[in-house]
């Protein structure tokens, strides 16, 4: 029996409701595949902002460090936007990234055929399939640089630096090449090398890693061109690697062109093994959904599946969870954000229960197949 130790930050707003079904499903995976699952519910975000004005207290950070992975729910209530940066819920994630030393963010998106009408793209743009993984550095760039504020000749001024060094690029590029190798062997690196020195370093360093992966076809593209091409010819993108800020933006574009951005996961990992898993859409803007059993739990469930695969090496279990989600969507069930004529509307909890039933069937099918093999 393998031990699976996970720290769980439930988030705030719709976060706790959304993570509920994912936790139930993880327990089912533990029961069905016989794993010793340990979930440590760690207080952070809204809960601790209210209780001690700190989005990630010392003790919570310690417990996250003791786990093998952190499952992090949606957070970022509107009322916290007025707080200083280091008191907001986002800061919990930023501190965790730094403290756990994760280097790379991974965001897979794909279009589910039965939901393709929700995509803002035209049929001719998606008929060849949309299946992309965005790989983004989360250590360098302006998002992680020191912040400067002062007063200059133009009045008050503020700036950050787009800093990169070779090590930062190599760490993320290596993860991207490995992912591309396991997919269709195509990696597109995005930068602004026509203008930025940091991008020229980025491009050179990515190419350098590329020489170790001759089976992966590497191309480079300017970020602004890529933003257009992603809409015009999304089938041309397989694995994408880019810097922190460019990745933050283009991964959201990638989620949005599917029309179903709440179906996907996000992973933050390092070669050393630390990992944080969240839904792709971390900030749920629509607070009118809170407490109404309306929010879509699938992004969080996919995050749990990605965690099983990447951190715990449980490919079969992760695949079963993905399959269970796919079957429920195929059977025509939708939360409110996924509604189309002819589909059946279900709430957060019922969606979780339907996926659980499918998961049980898949586990039984798998056990039967293994039984047959041994006969
Ligand atoms: C994301 C988010 C974060 C980021 C915020 C919450 C710090 O936007 O993960 O995409 O910009 O990295
Ligand atoms: Mn973002």
Per-residue pLDDT of the chain (375 residues; tens, 9 = 90+): 678 999 999 999 999 999 999 999 999 999 999 999 999 999 999 999 999 999 999 999 999 999 999 999 999 899 999 999 899 999 999 999 999 999 999 999 999 999 999 999 999 999 999 999 999 999 999 999 999 999 999 999 999 999 999 999 999 999 999 999 999 999 999 999 999 999 999 999 999 999 999 999 999 999 999 999 999 999 999 999 999 999 999 999 999 999 999 999 999 999 999 999 999 998 876 899 999 999 999 999 999 999 999 999 999 999 999 999 999 999 999 999 999 999 999 999 999 999 999 999 999 998 888 887 665
Q: What are phi and psi of 249, to 5 degrees?
A: -80, -50
Q: What is the pLDDT of residue 291?
A: 95
- Sorted by sequence, the CB contacts under 8 Å of residue 168 that are 6+ apart come out as 103, 137, 139, 140
Give the Cα separation of 368 and 375 in Å (integer).
11
Q: Tokens 């995050």 identify what position? A: 303
Both structure tokens of 34: 């016989």
Q: What are phi and psi of 267, to 5 degrees?
A: -125, 145
Using the mean position of ligand 2's atoms as its centre, give its distance from the Cα of residue 257 in Å. 15
Q: Is the distance from the beta carbon of residue 250 to the nearest atom of ligand 1 less than 6 Å? A: no
Give the Cα separation of 112 and 12 in Å (integer).
28
- Give the three-state DSSP class for 61: helix
Q: Is the distance from the beta carbon of residue 265 to the nearest atom of ligand 1 less than 6 Å? A: no
Task: Write the DSSP string, 64-97.
Answer: HHHSSEEEE-----GGGGGS-GGGSHHHHHHHHH
Using the mean position of ligand 2's atoms as its centre, give its distance from the Cα of residue 252 in Å. 7
Give the Cα separation of 355 and 152 in Å (integer).
58
Using the mean position of ligand 2's atoms as its centre, give its distance from the Cα of residue 314 in Å. 28
Query: What are 218's strand-pairing partners?
Result: 187
Give the Cα separation of 254 and 249 in Å (integer).
9
Query: What are 190's strand-pairing partners?
Result: 221, 242
């Amino acid at each position: 029996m393998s031990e699976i130790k996970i720290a769980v930050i439930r988030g705030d707003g719709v976060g706790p409701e959304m993570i509920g079904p994912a936790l139930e499903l993880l327990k089912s995976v533990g029961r069905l595949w016989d794993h010793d699952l340990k979930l440590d519910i760690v207080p952070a975000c809204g809960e601790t902002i209210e209780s001690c004005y700190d989005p990630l207290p010392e003790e919570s950070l310690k417990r996250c460090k003791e786990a093998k992975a952190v499952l992090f729910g949606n957070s970022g209530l509107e009322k916290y936007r007025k707080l200083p940066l280091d008191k907001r819920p986002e800061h919990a994630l930023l501190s965790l990234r730094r403290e756990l030393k994760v280097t790379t963010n991974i965001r897979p998106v794909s279009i589910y055929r039965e939901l393709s009408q929700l995509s803002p793209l035209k049929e001719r743009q998606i008929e060849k399939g949309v299946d992309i993984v965005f790989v983004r550095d989360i250590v360098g760039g302006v998002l992680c640089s020191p912040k400067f504020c002062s007063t200059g000749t133009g009045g008050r001024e503020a700036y950050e630096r787009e800093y990169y060094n070779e090590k930062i690029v190599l760490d993320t590029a290596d993860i991207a090449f490995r992912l591309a190798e396991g997919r269709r062997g195509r990696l597109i690196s995005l930068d602004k090398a026509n203008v930025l020195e940091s991008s020229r370093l980025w491009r050179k360093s990515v190419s350098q890693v590329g020489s170790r992966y001759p089976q992966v076809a590497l191309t480079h593209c300017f970020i602004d061109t890529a933003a257009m091409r992603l809409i015009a010819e999304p089938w041309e993108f397989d694995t994408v690697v880019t810097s922190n800020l460019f990745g933050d933006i283009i991964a959201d574009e990638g989620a949005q062109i599917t029309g179903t951005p709440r179906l996907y996961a996000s992973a933050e990992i390092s070669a050393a093994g630390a990992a944080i898993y969240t839904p792709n859409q971390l900030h749920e803007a629509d607070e009118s959904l809170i407490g109404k059993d309306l929010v879509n739990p699938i992004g969080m469930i996919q995050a749990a599946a990605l965690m099983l695969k990447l951190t715990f090496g449980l490919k079969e279990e992760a695949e079963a969870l993905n399959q269970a989600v796919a079957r429920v969507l195929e059977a025509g069930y939708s939360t409110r954000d996924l509604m189309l004529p002819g589909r059946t509307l279900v709430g957060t909890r019922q969606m979780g229960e339907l996926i659980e039933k499918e998961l049980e069937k898949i586990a039984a099918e798998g056990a039967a197949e293994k039984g047959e093999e041994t006969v």
